[in-house]
Amino acid sequence: MDYLKKLSRGDQIVGGAGVLLVIDLLFLPWHHVRVGFAQFHVTANRTALQSPNAFWGWLAFLVTVALVARVVLARFTTVQLPKLPVTWGRASLIGGVAVVALLLLKLVLKTDFLGVGAWFGIILGGAMAYGGYLHTQEEQTAVPPEVGTTT
């Protein structure tokens, strides 16, 4: 568990919630339909990446993968991330909010027959946005190095 010590609290939340959200988007039912009576019925499940409104699910999936990849690359490799017009913490916050917005849009556009994956997805998306917020706060409270010292 020493590798978790390399992560800030914001990165832990973004990474953990992101991995769980990827699993949710890929495998858990977002729409669950059961038609029939008594013992004779047909059940159909659709994940977030399937219809209805699969486009929004795919966008949320791609943003989530990008946020998790940023955490992994920044903390566990020697890769130098490119400079952005905003800080990486702010980018994590914007990405987390984008994930929540995309998932809410997918949810609102088709509210019939919602499955457990939809509700977990919204909660995990909110957790990612919160992790991005914490990352932003951690960057703002980080003490800059003294002038003339090496890092």
DSSP symbols for 27-76: HS-SEEEEEEETTEEEEEEE-TTSSSSHHHHHHHHHHHHHHHHHHHHHHH
pLDDT tens series, the chain, 151 aa: 677 788 899 999 999 999 999 999 999 999 988 888 878 888 889 999 999 999 999 999 999 999 999 999 999 999 999 999 999 999 999 999 999 999 999 999 988 889 999 999 999 999 999 999 999 999 888 756 555 545 4
Alpha helix (H) ranges present in 77-115?
A: 88-109
What φ, ψ does residue 147 adopt, rounded to 5°? Answer: -65, 130
Beta carbons of 135 and 28 less than 8 angstroms apart = no
